[in-house]
Amino acid sequence: MAGKRIVFTGGSGKAGRHAVAHLQAKGHKILNVDLKPLDLPGVNTLFADLTKSGQAFNALTSHFGFDGYELGHTPVAPDAVVHFAAIPRVLIEPDDATFAANVASTYNVIEAAMKLGVRKVIVASSETTYGVCFAEGDKDFHSFPLEEDYDIDPMDSYGLSKLCNEKTARAFAMRYGADIYALRIGNVIEPHEYGMFAEFQRKPMMRKRNAWSYVDARDLGEIVHLCLEKDGLGFQVFNAVNDGITVETPTREFLAKYCPDTPITRPLGKFEGPLSNRKAREVLGFKEAHDWRRYVGQK
């Protein structure tokens, strides 16, 4: 498949820098749009504040680099947009600022993409929409596994911003007949972070808020790549997580012990993550490359 021209927002961040590198390795040409630099040869960063609509439109109609000036025509809109830029959790900025920035930037990026004729946008949603991650106190999930048809009910400003962003994506996909896929990204784990899984075994309840799930940053890049390859699905939500539960105990046994009152709505794979990626596997053909068990115990 020929490489696409992709505007990637938030590519300087924790998740984005791995995804950008993965997409570049797949042959795509990337323009990173962020407030901060990215040190990746071959990828230019345009500094833009995406909470400003004008800057979002401009970013999507920019040359990707100086070589663009050799083409002899003004820049055209990209083939696709991947929108990861955000304030990525609560407690970084005040609640109202988090909500306003995430909702405005996502609206601006999707609107600009649609009005410029882009028909494929991938946006970062979040596991926090399932309502437990940043809940006050010990809230239970409604049922397991967590899948895309769950009645998401966050009570925090960040999770709420992501819920709103999914609705924005759906509205624009409907209005423009476009493909906009929202990824409910799990807790992102970079290659150097697998050391923390030992503690996940010792203190399993510390991972309830993440539904005992995670996504390897490189596997997340692969999910984005697969979303770029797949067309014609309209608005979609995909859980973007790895396959397995983050403990050694089989899922059914683990949930019976730690969440005895939470219903289980279908048969589960032996070690299937309670936040399930079944849809990404079945619809996108996702195959994880970075099962946490490969790395735990390594220095």
Ligand X SMILES: NC(=O)c1ccc[n+]([C@@H]2O[C@H](COP(=O)([O-])OP(=O)(O)OC[C@H]3O[C@@H](n4cnc5c(N)ncnc54)[C@H](O)[C@@H]3O)[C@@H](O)[C@H]2O)c1
Residues that bind ligand X (CB under 6 A): 9-10, 12-16, 34-36, 48-51, 84-86, 88, 101, 105, 124, 126-127, 185, 187-188
* Nearer to ligand X among residue 33 and residue 71 (C-beta): 33
Q: Report the nearest approach of ligand X to the CB of residue 3 (Å).
A: 23
When CB distances to ligand X are compared, the closest residue is 13
* Nearer to ligand X among residue 2 and residue 225 (C-beta): 225
Q: Report the nearest approach of ligand X to the CB of residue 22 (Å).
A: 14
Q: How far apart are the first and last CA of the chain?
A: 37
d(CA 197, CA 96): 33
Backbone phi, psi, residue 29, to 5° = -100, 130
* Nearer to ligand X among residue 16 and residue 145 (C-beta): 16
For residues 251 and 271, the answer to whether their CB atoms sit within 8 Å is: yes
Q: Report the nearest approach of ligand X to the CB of residue 32 (Å).
A: 9
Q: Report the nearest approach of ligand X to the CB of residue 104 (Å).
A: 8
Residue type at position 290 = H
Q: Report the nearest approach of ligand X to the CB of residue 217 (Å).
A: 8
Q: Report the nearest approach of ligand X to the CB of residue 162 (Å).
A: 7
* Nearer to ligand X among residue 161 and residue 251 (C-beta): 161
* Nearer to ligand X among residue 101 and residue 103 (C-beta): 101
* Nearer to ligand X among residue 36 and residue 266 (C-beta): 36
For residues 211 and 150, the answer to whether their CB atoms sit within 8 Å is: no
Six token digits for residue 58: 């401009």
Radius of gyration of the chain (CA): 19
For residues 79 and 6, the answer to whether their CB atoms sit within 8 Å is: yes
d(CA 240, CA 225): 12
Peptide bond into 145 cis (omega under 30): yes
Six token digits for residue 235: 């608005």
**Of 139, 130, 119, nearest to 181 (Cα)?**
119
